[in-house]
Structure 1
Amino acid sequence: MEAGDTLIKLILHIRQGAFWDITDMVPYVRISGDSANISRTLETEIFQNIYDKQLQSIGILEGSSICFYENEKELYRGNIIDVSKSAKSHTVKITVKDIGYNLGSVKISKNYNNITAEKIAEDVIKQSKLGIGKIAKTNIKLTRFFRDVSAYEMIMTMYTLASKTTKKQYMVEVELDKINVIERGQVIDISFDENNNIYDLDHNISIDNLINTVTVTDNKGNKISQNTNSELSKIFYFIKNKIIEVEDKNKATKEVINAEYHGSDYTTNLTGYGNYNCRSGMKVHVKEPQTGLIGEFFIDSDTHEWSGGAYKCTLGLNFNNIMDSKEAGSDKEESSETGEGDESLGISFSGGATSNEKQRIILAEAYKMVGKGRYTYGGRSNIYNTDCSGFIYFIHKKAGITVGSATSSQKSNGKAVSLKNILPGDFIVMGSKYSPSGRHVVLYVGDGMIIHNGGPAGAPITKRKLYTYGKYYVRRCWG
């Protein structure tokens, strides 16, 4: 297949079988990626005729590998993770992921003490049985304890911590069979110009999520302070506020308050003729006077498509260089400090039957949210935008149970339970050095596992192994 002056080739290697050149069987090849995902995805489809002997002999299998070439240069390599067949359209749709998919799937438990971020990255990649490529140097030694954390989160956590000192932004990228860790925002050797290679460009500005006022209250709802950002108030005069609750007013620092302000949101999508170097995390120059976009922009998402003899790319652009920050694990080993009942973590946890209907609903609602939502400190508008206590509040509300919407009240809700007698559906309020309230709450779901909304800002709800920190309270509200 030719796309303009570009010759492309798509090679399929059947799992433990033969190699096939399927270039002429596919109407398009589409490769995409974004800053929030380590893996890049290739999509294509094949028209399937039941009388096509060649297609029958190929026998496309999940797990088989795909290689994509442009002008004899290999651009992409991955494995088929999904094969979808349609009787109506007579097509076989293929979805492929590169080795970034493996890095995001492998879970590791390991402690690192006073080791540089780059050495930890190399060790994690090696444990994932992947190739080690270019690894950015930080020379920042760190200590971190991980339990059941993905390899990708471990690497990005260490570089997130290192970036606080180096003031640089980092990203993980895949280079065929190797994993690289590089500085984010490197300039690529192509520019987009309205008179040259821009097909279309949409630029939108919205203040729907603007926050110009932050109100700080104590855990009883008494106002401590109201803070207004004068620059954001010039954009929108009326109050658009957010309330944050703190146990200790000294924790409502200027840094904490400033982090809650939110200005205008900009969304920019450019479609044009670039090249495969235009990928998420890179920086590109754009000149488009009609929308006023002139300068260098960071690529947040990218889609490249070769179809019908033509090539185009669509880029999601950002004014800011935003790293995919992670803060998994802990800088202290998971605590076995005692709480109510003087029980330790050195016990055997039961999965526990869920014969109680309210208990069953709490667990079902919690599992529905794993991998979803965005951690929003003080968020109470809906279950998709909450903090730890807001998450507990909403899943209990679904079961017809009223609990407090803050950890200060949740630690007294229901009845106290000793840790050795904990059952699925119980929650644990514990200490936290990250939250302004000084507390965190998690839901126990059985077999030594919890589901919680643990942050950082924007992160989804996750499932992980049970831990406690500082003084804790185990509460049961379902029975």
Structure 2
Amino acid sequence: MATYKMEDMDLIVHIRGGGSFYRLTDIVTNISWSGSIKSPYRELNFEFIQAVNDEKVKSIGLSANSTCCFYVGGKEIFRGNIIEVEKASSNNGIRVTAYDIGYVLHRDEVSYNFVNKSASEIAKTVFAGKDGQMNLPVGKIAKGDSKITKMFIGVSRYDAIMTAYTEHAKISKKKYMIDVDIDKFNIIEKGEVKLKILFNEKQNVEYSSYKESVANVVNRVLVVDEQGNKLQVKTNKEFRKLYHTVSKVIEQKKDGKAEDIDAAFHGLDRTCDLHGYGDITCKSGYKVQIKDSHTGLIGDFYIDKDKHSWIGGKYSIDLELNFDNIMDEKSAGKDESKASSSEGKALDWGHGITADMINKLLKGPLAGKGDLFIKYGNMYKVNPMMVALVARMECGEKFDSNLAVNHFNFFGIKDPDKNIKKYKSFGSYSSVEEGIRRGFHFIGISHVNKKGRKFDQIISTWAPVSDGNDTSGYIRQVKSWYKQHTGKDWSDSNLGTGVTSDEEANSRLVSDGYSGSGGSGGNDRQRKILQVAESMVGKGRYTWGGKSIYNSDCSGFVYACHKAAGITIGGSTSAQLHNGKKIPSLAQALPGDLIITQSSASGSGRHVMLYIGNGMVIHNGGPEGSPITKTRVRRGSWTEIRRCW
């Protein structure tokens, strides 16, 4: 326990713009220094009285954004900027509020699209800032290796970092917080530090209080799919005894996983307040030991909030304590990520590569075509940087080989397709984009998906020793370039899974750049329609007249897909014939459009399908009880195409 005196302290202010430093210790009447686990910054408040004839104080010219430092026992415990200066005429008092550098983290907003990045990588990137943001100095960052995909737009730097660590905490089962150490930021495992100080009712506790609350109880968890259909229900019997049934609903993610159900339950909240005499080591996020028989507070407790005060030369401390180790959980940003593309975009599978990264190596006919590598890397689920580096090896540094410049063959492909024009035995392609796509086609389908080859095995087949190639040198060079351009060592876990066919690759393509008749949200609605439809292939059953996603007929299925995207269309083919905007031909159709055609198998004489691109549709075509399927477009004697997104 410390007994700090005013002479143990120093409060120094540096006036904005003037360059002068002032020591205010002798004139302040009170000082408080405080923090919370729910705030990235600590706060310093101090007051002093300015006598009317006190010319010395008048000359200081204390103003907002001046800097101040606070020392206790010769140790600097606070450095920050004055945010507010409040003057009162009633007693000539001046009250000053200052925040440390953590306030920048709290206020400054960011725009990032993180794909398959670890929590610690996200934190380092956000601390560093971009586009003229302040580079915030970093000390220690707690391990956070869980991979996360999040888009943060207009989110504070603090919320972005804590969202990443909230996701990581679900896996690590630990708690985290941001701690400012004067001029640098640390991310620490909350509650790991146990202070040596003991708060004892007979020595340093003036008073304490204890509170129990069931205000936040959750004793039932419901897991649903994207359409709100029940998948699982779990009840906590012990928490059910605390209060009436209070439910939390969790949506199952696209990968079939839901967040930890047990973690969603919430029981009795127990908190306590303490006023006494501690020392400046007692900060939020740490653990302290208490012995107070009156309130029954005996054992280790976690500090949620702390306030240290010096009033009239007397030091005291106020603590808000918790029986449980909690963190400031955040859920900012969007789970969907966006990838660059020329004519469309494919759903990103998490490779972490950007078009800008690839464009730094592309030259010649491929210069500036990084967006196409991203597009086809996402469609064929193959690492686009790896494929670009294979092109670099095949074409040379300037990408100016004869095959590349004159035939758009960037991979040395001896194409077996009889419909492809040939130069000798090599494929001669009609455009840069076709040449890029053929490379992804062969690597993604033949090598990765069908034959399950790893990178070394792919290159050993692609550039075999039997053809006079230095295969091992080829492999070493590509891996070296990969680290140079991505900052990471190559790992086959980054290769991707490939796809089974061009049709599967096409199904991953989502049109970009169309707003639709309904306004600026068209792309998002279109994407949602396709995601829901894809998720139902092989599921559900044909039920004549049904309109739920799992029990529907052809018109009910497309009705449910649009409803999930927030779009209301008719529930029958006769109504859908007039919904949305007419599209003149199949050649102008985009994924998400309705194709309504003549059908002798239907009682109405009509059948509706959801177009997904490249001549493919998803539909509920019967007979009774059959699942939803993906197939090629089938057209009757007439066809109507409508766009409703």
Higher CA-based Rg:
2
Q: Which secondary structure state, in structure 2, belongs to the residue aligned with residue 27 of structure 1?
A: strand
Indicate the residue corresponding to 1:426 in structure 2. none
In structure 2, give the amino acid aligned to 1:12.
V
2:29 touches 2:312 (CA, 8 Å); kept in 1? yes
Indicate the residue corresponding to 2:9 in structure 1. 8
Pairing partner for 1:152 from 149, 153, 158: 158
Deviation track 1:20-54 (CA, whole Å, cap 9, x = no partner) reads 00011111110111111111111111212232101
Instruction: Tell whether 2:320 aligns with 1:316.
Output: yes
Pairing partner for 2:170 from 157, 164, 169: 164
User: Per-residue deviation at 1:258?
Assistant: 6.1
How far apart, in 1, do the equivalents of 2:520 and 2:217 lie?
45
2:515 touches 2:521 (CA, 8 Å); kept in 1? no
User: Per-residue deviation at 1:115?
Assistant: 3.3
Indicate the residue corresponding to 1:270 in structure 2. 274
1:3 touches 1:308 (CA, 8 Å); kept in 2? no
Out of 8-17 and 321-330, give the one that drifted further: 321-330
Out of 326-335 and 190-199, give the one that drifted further: 326-335
In structure 1, give the amino acid aligned to 2:143.
K
- RMSD over aligned CA atoms reads 4.0
Deviation track 1:248-300 (CA, whole Å, cap 9, x = no partner) reads 9xxxx997886675433322001121112211111111111222211111111
> What does 1:328-347 correspond to in 2, within 5 Å?
328-334=332-338, 341=517, 345=521
Instruction: Answer 1 or 2: higher relative contact order, Cα 8 Å, separation at least 6.
Output: 1
Change (3 A) 1:51 1:265: same
Instruction: Tell whether 2:303 aligns with 1:299.
Output: yes
In structure 2, give the amino acid aligned to 1:34.
S
In structure 2, give the amino acid aligned to 1:150.
S
Q: Which secondary structure state, in structure 2, belongs to the residue aligned with residue 23 of structure 1?
A: coil
Pairing partner for 1:173 from 168, 173, 179: 179
Indicate the residue corresponding to 1:138 in structure 2. 144
Structure 2 residues not aligned, in runs of 5+ = 340-510, 524-562, 569-579, 581-643
Instruction: Tell whether 2:190 aligns with 1:190.
Output: no
In structure 2, give the amino acid aligned to 1:114.
N
Instruction: Tell whether 2:207 aligns with 1:200.
Output: yes
How far apart, in 1, do the equivalents of 2:89 and 2:216 lie?
44
In structure 1, give the amino acid aligned to 2:140.
K
Out of 325-334 and 221-230, give the one that drifted further: 221-230
Q: Which secondary structure state, in structure 2, belongs to the residue aligned with residue 124 of structure 1?
A: helix
Q: Which secondary structure state, in structure 1, belongs to the residue aligned with residue 127 of structure 2?
A: helix
Instruction: Tell whether 2:239 aligns with 1:232.
Output: yes
Deviation track 1:334-373 (CA, whole Å, cap 9, x = no partner) reads 59877874655599xxxxxxxxxxxxxxxxxxxxxxxxxx
Q: Which secondary structure state, in structure 1, belongs to the residue aligned with residue 336 of structure 2?
A: coil
Deviation track 1:56-96 (CA, whole Å, cap 9, x = no partner) reads 10011100011000111101111111111111121111010
2:113 touches 2:338 (CA, 8 Å); kept in 1? no
How far apart, in 1, do the equivalents of 2:522 and 2:308 lie?
52
Deviation track 1:287-346 (CA, whole Å, cap 9, x = no partner) reads 112222111111111100012221111110011111112222234225987787465559
In structure 1, give the amino acid aligned to 2:167.
L
How far apart, in 2, do the equivalents of 1:283 and 1:247 lie?
35
In structure 1, give the amino acid aligned to 2:114.
Y
> What does 1:79-118 correspond to in 2, within 5 Å?
79-118=81-120
How far apart, in 1, do the equivalents of 2:217 and 2:338 lie?
38
2:218 touches 2:247 (CA, 8 Å); kept in 1? no
In structure 2, give the amino acid aligned to 1:326.
K
Task: Give the share of equivalent positions with the same residue, in percent.
Answer: 40
How far apart, in 2, do the equivalents of 1:64 and 1:82 lie?
10
In structure 1, give the amino acid aligned to 2:211.
N
Q: Which secondary structure state, in structure 1, belongs to the residue aligned with residue 212 of structure 2?
A: strand
How far apart, in 2, do the equivalents of 1:141 and 1:48 lie?
56
Number of residue pairs aligned between Structure 1 and Structure 2: 354
Change (3 A) 1:294 1:254: farther
Change (3 A) 1:6 1:298: farther
Deviation track 1:219-254 (CA, whole Å, cap 9, x = no partner) reads xx9999997643234445xxx233668999xxxx99
How far apart, in 2, do the equivalents of 1:75 and 1:6 lie?
16
In structure 2, give the amino acid aligned to 1:199.
E
Structure 1 residues not aligned, in runs of 5+ = 348-406, 413-417, 419-472, 475-479
Q: Which secondary structure state, in structure 1, belongs to the residue aligned with residue 281 of structure 2?
A: coil
Q: Which secondary structure state, in structure 2, belongs to the residue aligned with residue 24 of structure 1?
A: coil
> What does 1:361-440 correspond to in 2, within 5 Å?
none
User: Per-residue deviation at 1:216?
Assistant: 10
In structure 2, give the amino acid aligned to 1:231.
E
Out of 83-92 and 263-272, give the one that drifted further: 263-272
Pairing partner for 1:31 from 25, 29, 33: 33
How far apart, in 1, do the equivalents of 2:59 and 2:168 lie?
52
Change (3 A) 1:83 1:256: same
1:35 touches 1:300 (CA, 8 Å); kept in 2? yes
| TM-score where L is the length of structure 2 | 0.48
Out of 330-339 and 309-318, give the one that drifted further: 330-339
In structure 1, give the amino acid aligned to 2:15.
I
How far apart, in 2, do the equivalents of 1:151 and 1:300 lie?
21
How far apart, in 2, do the equivalents of 1:58 and 1:232 lie?
59
1:107 touches 1:150 (CA, 8 Å); kept in 2? yes
Indicate the residue corresponding to 1:72 in structure 2. 74
How far apart, in 2, do the equivalents of 1:287 and 1:232 lie?
28
How far apart, in 2, do the equivalents of 1:155 and 1:265 lie?
26
Indicate the residue corresponding to 2:547 in structure 1. none
The structure where helix makes up a greater share of residues is 2
The structure where strand makes up a greater share of residues is 1
> What does 1:37-56 correspond to in 2, within 5 Å?
37-56=39-58
Q: Which secondary structure state, in structure 2, belongs to the residue aligned with residue 20 of structure 1?
A: strand
Out of 118-127 and 204-213, give the one that drifted further: 204-213
